[in-house]
Amino acid sequence: MSKVSIVSTGLGNKDLLTTEGKKAIENSQVIIGAEKLLKEFGNRKETIVLKGNLDYISNFIKENYEKKSIAVLVTGDAGLYSLAQSVKKRIPKDIPCEIIPGIGSLQYLCGKAGIGYENIKIVSFHGKKGSILPYAAYNRTLFAITGGEVKAHDVIKELCDGGLGHVKICAGENMSHEDERILKGKAEELVCCEFKDLTSLVIENETYVNSYIPLFDNDFVRSKVPMTKEEIRWITVSKMNIKPQDIIYDIGAGTGSVTIEMARKANEGLVYAVERNSEAVSLIKENKAKLGAFNVKVIEGLAPGCISDLPKPDKVFIGGSCGNMREIIETVLKKNPKVKVMINTITLESLSESISTLKELKFDMEIVNMNVSRAHSVGGYNLMKANNPIYIISGEKNYED
């Protein structure tokens, strides 16, 4: 019985095709692949051009695999953002099929950069938008694939604009071909360079932050601006159930203590710190730089007016509303009807406003009251001194009633 081979052709240079890949192509009667690959590897074979309709290819394989040996060619390495998995999913499990790996851009560029990739973080901006900042902030070494709307120079510019101009970069353009270009330097040194489509980047941040380490109160720069204490902060952030790629608003961000704690949880997302007090804004920026929270974007202004142009949030934390609680919640609901809202309040008046607003807007609520006491030494004895009780209110809108 013949079998189907999905062959990784690597970067397009025949010299980098593995021996097993060459044998699979030579022994196949039918070669399926993109037009460019067929010109390179499909000489003297029956060929089928692989375009957008993978179902056609699937049907061909089902009808012919017993009569003809078939090789499907894919670029790069089959295990990394490859068409290989999409092809394999369309091949019935009872049809013998093997995937032959190859040398892709990750292995090639890491070789050029002289580094291993056993601990590397991989992210692709090819054909999709996103921010490089959280990945570069919380990973020692990062491999980024660019292309389409997001080119390598766009990524490098964002790094510089976001405070990460010091990171080291190895950029690979047209890798393995005659017009290959490998550039190395700090982001700030490469920011004026332009790169072609499908350029890959190895980014090294020697001052990266371990996002799994919690923050203590003495980690923050403080002044007279109020700050959410660490025990309250940890419980609040834990209850928010933050996912790595979440977009989060912190409204009334104060010193940025909750902002930065949330930013470490959303270590592939962004946190928007909204604050109207100029002294507090300066503190947020200072703490952001000190603690490496480069996925925090500071918005100076009064909500809800200043959040109208922000991307839709997954989670919203409200530490201070300046009397605009209802308007703020209504604004974020318009952006995302399923947004999770978390409110911390210390006064009974704010508690009453928060509960009545969420009730009127038909939120399912959870209300927690936290009392934290700390021991203080007095005359050789430890006495507990209580902080003000904090109310933690969280909820999501109920659309079933």
Any idea how long the chain is? 401
- Looking at the DSSP bridge assignments, the partners of residue 4 are 70, 97
Domain at 106-204, CATH homologous superfamily: Tetrapyrrole methylase, C-terminal domain (3.30.950.10)
Is the pTM higher than 0.75? Answer: yes
pLDDT at 226: 83
- Average the pLDDT over 347-358 and give the result: 94
- Is residue 144 over pLDDT 90? yes
User: Could you tell me the pLDDT band of residue 304, with boundaries at 50, 70 and 90?
Assistant: very high
Region 313-328: what's the mean pLDDT?
95
- Angle 347-348-353 from CA coordinates, rounded to 5°: 100
Average pLDDT on 284-292 reads 97
Place of tokens 């980024």: 144
CATH superfamily of this structure's domain 230-396: Vaccinia Virus protein VP39 (3.40.50.150)
Residue 22's contacts (CB-CB under 8 Å, 6 or more residues apart) are: none
Contact (CB, 8 A) for 293 and 137: yes
Q: What are phi and psi of 200, to 5 degrees?
A: -110, 155
Instruction: Return the percentage of the chain with pLDDT > 90, whole number.
Output: 79
- The 10 Å CB-count burial string (b at 16+, else e) for 39-68 is ebbbeeeebbebeeeeeebbeebeebbeee
Mean pLDDT of 346-350: 93
What's the pLDDT at 123?
Answer: 96
Per-residue model confidence (pLDDT) at position 164 = 97
d(CA 219, CA 217): 5
Residue 113 has pLDDT above 80, yes or no: yes
For residue 304, whether the previous peptide bond is cis, meaning omega lies within 30 degrees of 0, is yes
Does residue 1 carry a pLDDT above 60?
A: no
Return the exposure string of 361-400: e unless at least 16 CB atoms fall within 10 Å of the residue's CB, then b.
eebeeeeeebeeeeeeeeeeeeeeeeeeebbbbbbebeee
Pick the more confident residue, 245 or 82.
Answer: 245
Residue 340 β-bridge partners: 315
Average pLDDT over residues 166-187: 95
Three-state secondary structure along 344-366? EECCHHHHHHHHHHHHHCCEEEE
Beta bridge partners of 247: 270
Contacts of 103 (CB under 8 A, 6+ apart): 8, 10, 11, 16, 18, 77
pLDDT digit string (tens) for 181-234? Answer: 999 999 999 999 999 988 999 999 999 999 999 999 999 998 888 899 999 999
Task: List the Cα angle 191/193/198 in 5-degree steps.
Answer: 105
- pLDDT of 3 reads 80
Banded pLDDT at 389 (limits 50, 70, 90): very high
For 229-253, the DSSP string reads: -HHHHHHHHHHTT--TT-EEEEES-
Q: Which long-range contacts (CB under 8 A, 24 or more apart) does 31-39 make?
A: 31/70, 31/71, 31/73, 32/57, 32/60, 32/70, 32/71, 32/72, 32/73, 33/9, 33/72, 33/73, 33/74, 34/73, 34/75, 36/12, 37/9, 37/12, 37/73, 37/75, 38/73
pLDDT at 124 over 80: yes
Residue 244 pLDDT greater than 70, yes or no: yes
Q: What is the mean pLDDT of residues 119-130?
A: 90
CB-based contacts of 218, cutoff 8 Å, min separation 6 = none
With a cut of 70, say whether residue 119 has pLDDT above it.
yes
Query: pLDDT tens, 11-55?
Result: 988 888 999 999 999 999 999 999 888 888 877 789 989 887 788
Query: Can you tell me the distance from the alpha carbon of 118 to that of 172, in angstroms, rounded to the nearest whole number?
Result: 19
Give the pLDDT confidence score for residue 301 in this predicted structure: 96
Domain boundaries, the chain: 4-102, 106-204, 230-396
Q: Is residue 401 very low, low, confident or very high in pLDDT (cuts 50, 70, 90)?
A: low
Predicted confidence at residue 106, as pLDDT, reads 95
Residues of the chain above pLDDT 70, percent: 99
Q: Which fold has domain 4-102?
A: Cobalt-precorrin-4 Transmethylase; domain 1 (3.40.1010)
* Mean pLDDT estimate for the chain: 93
Mean of pLDDT values over 135-151: 95
